[in-house]
Amino acid sequence: GCFNSLKCGIVLCDRLSTVSPTYAFELRHAYFAHGLSRIISENSYKMKGILNGIGDNVNPKDDGFIYKKYWAGRYKTKCDNKAMLQRELGLIENPDIPVFAVISRLVDHKGIPLIERVGENIPLEGAQLVVIGTGEKRFEDYFRWLQDKYPGMVSSNITFSNELASKVYAGADFFLMPSKSEPCGLSQMIAMKYGTIPIVRETGGLFDTVPPYNEMTGEGRGFTFKVYNAHDMLDAIMRAIEFYGKKEPLKALSKKIMLEDFSW
C-alpha cells in the first residue's frame, strides 16, 4: 500500500535508462528488480541500457600515486610496480607468483561470500591475494584471519585508500570481481586501463565490459564464470593461474585491455 515514486517515474517517463544493456534486461526479472520487475517488463519497450564510463585521466600514465608510471606496451614497468607492491605489503617478492586483487566494499552482493568459501585455495595454489575494502564485520574478520594464516601470500587492508588502490591496480596481475549483481561496475574498467586482467561473473555491466578471453583467437578481455557459485569462480581463478605461466599471451592481453576505450 505504499506510494512508490520510482514506479511512477517508470510508468510516466518517455524514455527509461540504466547503466548497462545487460542490467536493463536483468531488471525484467524478480531476482534483480526488488519488486518492480512486472512494471519494468511492461515498460521495457522504452528502456535502454547505456554503459557507464571512466575519465580519460584514469590511467597509469597520469597516476601520481603509483610507484612508476607506465602505458600500454611497457609491461616491464608494470612488473616493477608489482615488485614494489609486494615489498610494501610484506608479500613474498617473486615475479613468478601471480597477484590477485580485490578492491571492493566487503558486502554480500559484491560476491564476497564466494571468496570466503574458497579464498584459501588462492595461496594454496601458489598465488597471492591483496584485499582493500571495508564492510561487514564477518568479511573483514575473515580477510584478517586469512592474512594471519598465510603471511607473505595474503595482504588484507581493511581500509579505504585511493593511494593504495592505485598501487594495487598497477601492481596486480588479476582483478577479482565476483559480484552477485552489478548494474555496471567501474572497478573492472579501471583495472583494465592499468593492464590488470579482470576475473568477473557474467552479470550486468561485467558481462558487457569483460567478454571471456579466447586463447585460440586472442579475443576477449578476461576470465569469466556464469553461475553464482564459489567453485565456478575458483575454476576461473585456476584458468588465470595457468594463463599466467604463458608470458607472451599474458603481455599481449595486458596491452590489449589497456588500449580499450572506456571513456564516457
Per-residue model confidence as pLDDT tens digits over 123-135: 999 999 999 999 9
Going 224 to 227 to 228 to 234, the CA torsion angle's sign is negative
Q: How far apart are CA 47 and CA 30, in angstroms?
A: 17
- Cβ–Cβ contacts within 10 Å for residue 137, how many? 10
Of the candidates 219, 197, 218, 258, the residue with the CA atom closest to the CA atom of residue 69: 258
Q: Coil, helix or strand for 17?
A: strand
pTM to 2 decimal places = 0.97
Q: What is the pLDDT of residue 12?
A: 97
Q: How far apart are CA 72 and CA 74, in angstroms?
A: 6
Q: How confident is the model at residue 2 (pLDDT cuts 50, 70, 90)?
A: confident
> Does pLDDT of 264 surpass 90?
no
Q: How far apart are CA 127 and CA 98, in angstroms?
A: 5
> Does pLDDT of 204 surpass 80?
yes
Q: How confident is the model at residue 224 (pLDDT cuts 50, 70, 90)?
A: very high
Q: How far apart are CA 201 and CA 226, in angstroms?
A: 6
The helix (H) or strand (E) run that includes residue 106 is: none
Segment 171-195 mean pLDDT: 98
> Does pLDDT of 91 surpass 90?
yes
Segment 5-18 mean pLDDT: 97
Of the candidates 162, 167, 156, the residue with the CA atom closest to the CA atom of residue 78: 167
Segment 4-16 mean pLDDT: 96
75-89 vs 247-258: helix crossing angle, rounded to 10: 100
Segment 57-80 mean pLDDT: 97
> Does pLDDT of 1 surpass 80?
no
Q: How confident is the model at residue 230 (pLDDT cuts 50, 70, 90)?
A: very high
Show the cell assigned to 177.
570481481
Q: What percent of the chain has pLDDT over 90?
A: 98
Segment 14-31 mean pLDDT: 97
> Mean of the per-residue pLDDT values for the chain?
97
Q: Which of 3-7, 163-167, 229-233 has the lowest mean pLDDT?
A: 3-7
Of the candidates 128, 103, 97, the residue with the CA atom closest to the CA atom of residue 244: 97
Q: How far apart are CA 51 and CA 125, in angstroms?
A: 35
